[in-house]
Amino acid sequence: MSVSNSGASLPYRLRLPGPTAVPGRVLQAAARPMVAHRGPEFLARFKSIQQRLQPIIGRGGVPPFLFASTGIGAMESAMVNVAGPGKRVLITTNGQWGPVFRRLAEGIGAEADEVISPLGAPVDLDGVRKALAEKDYAAVFTVHSESSTGALTDLEALGAIVAESDAVLCCDSVSGLAGTEMKADAWGVDVVVSASQKCLMCPPGIGIASISEKAWGVIDRDDRGPRGYFDYRKFRPMAEKGEPTYTAPVAMLNALGEALAMIGETGLAKTLARHKRHNRALTAGLEALGFSVFPTATPSPTLVVVRTPEGISAPTLIDHLLKRYNCVVAGSRFEELKDRLVRIGTMGWVGDEDIRTDLGQIAAALRDLGGAADDKDALAAADAALAA
């Protein structure tokens, strides 16, 4: 790989933890001619999208709901359907997304309690257990893959705790679904929400929600404020017929259908294994370059969150990677971590060569900035992990 050129002449590399790079096949599917969203051709595709999502979510019952929305819209859809004015909800916070759930709860007049753990730490399961023993909650909200810190949540353990209460467990799996295991039925995850632009390797624009019968028991009650566009009571009968609720975002769903076909060709188990493999390889390579893994929780396989080597400013490195190498990686929004944190996606459409190129460009950038990075060690470490 040549690193002597200026950034402008190198290929643009979208290496964020979302939105992620999209395969050509998926982009071409989005460019198909428009068809009627209730015509036979599109409905067949819609049903196949629902069916292909079921095993990825690990849900056998109610088909998933699909709508035009970003991830936060999908999070809001869960909130307005299980909570409302005066309802009490419990939120696990160990990064950026728990507080988003809190704002959504407060926005509809719900009472939100938070179980807070340090950034990068696992969800405080004992804290959840205690809170559920002390008060009645309508729902518990959690985040599967905390993309601000790289922490993966043990949903099986959390699900077992919440299952002993009347509360429904709602999970933001925007950066988890299709990149790390989700067994919604088996783990007791009553509402799973996700979006198209992360591990599902599509452009942004589709929200996904999947509900259990336990969640339906709460959703179907008429005891709270208006739910507007996201009212799951309008979605369920349509989803069961295999139809979109409103005018479907046809082009985006064509893209999602193609991406799911690609995941089907690879196989779900292999797709999840690929995420782990790439995550381990990038982590090993970055460690060889002097970076250190940030989360103290089990790291999510869908992104790598690391501290920069001593003396290297993360914003400077990120800026240099973009300007000189045309490579886009993310930093941190947390004031206390901003100087040192770098976040890189290993989600969706990532290949072995992406990981090698990441390490080559990052090593070169470190040298440009006056460091002494040796890409040979980094590539050897990554290759060993890729071969494992």
Ligand X SMILES: *Cc1c(COP(=O)(O)O)cnc(C)c1O
Binding residues (CB under 6 A) for ligand X: these are 18, 70-72, 97, 143, 147, 172, 174-175, 195, 198, 204
Compute φ and ψ for 93, nearest 5 degrees: -125, 120
Helix axes 314-325, 352-368, angle to 10 degrees: 110
Residue 299 DSSP label: B
DSSP H/E element including 265: helix 250-266
Taking the complex as a whole, the smallest distance from the CB of residue 56 to ligand X amounts, in Å, to 16
Q: At what angle do helices 97-107 and 71-82 cross, to 10 degrees?
A: 50
Q: How far is the CB of 291 from ligand X (least distance, A)?
A: 21
Give the Cα separation of 91 and 128 in Å (integer): 9
What phi-psi label fits residue 256: left (phi over 0), alpha (psi between -120 and 50 degrees) or beta? alpha
Q: Cβ distance 161 to 90 under 8 Å?
A: no
Output the smallest distance, CB 38 to ligand X, in A: 27
Minimum distance, C-beta of residue 167 to ligand X, in the bound complex (Å): 20
- From the CB of 212, what's the least distance to ligand X, in Å? 20
Nearer to ligand X, 172 or 181 (CB): 172
Q: In 58-74, which positions are buried (b, 16+ CB within 10 angstroms) versus exposed (e)?
A: bbeebbbbbbbbbbbbb
Q: How far is the CB of 257 from ligand X (least distance, A)?
A: 20
Q: Which one, 152 or 365, has the nearer CB to ligand X?
A: 152
Residue 146, both tokens: 């905390």
Closer residue to ligand X, CB minimum distance, 229 or 243: 229
The CB-nearest residue to ligand X is 71
Q: Which is nearer to ligand X, 17 or 257 (CB)?
A: 17
Backbone angles phi, psi at 322, to 5 degrees: -70, -50
CA 54 to chain centre: 17
Known binder of ligand: residue 356? Answer: no
Cβ distance to ligand X smaller for residue 68 or 268: 68
Which residue's CB is nearer to ligand X, number 132 or number 347? 347
Q: Which residues are annotated as a binding site?
A: 343
Known binding-site residue numbers for substrate: 343
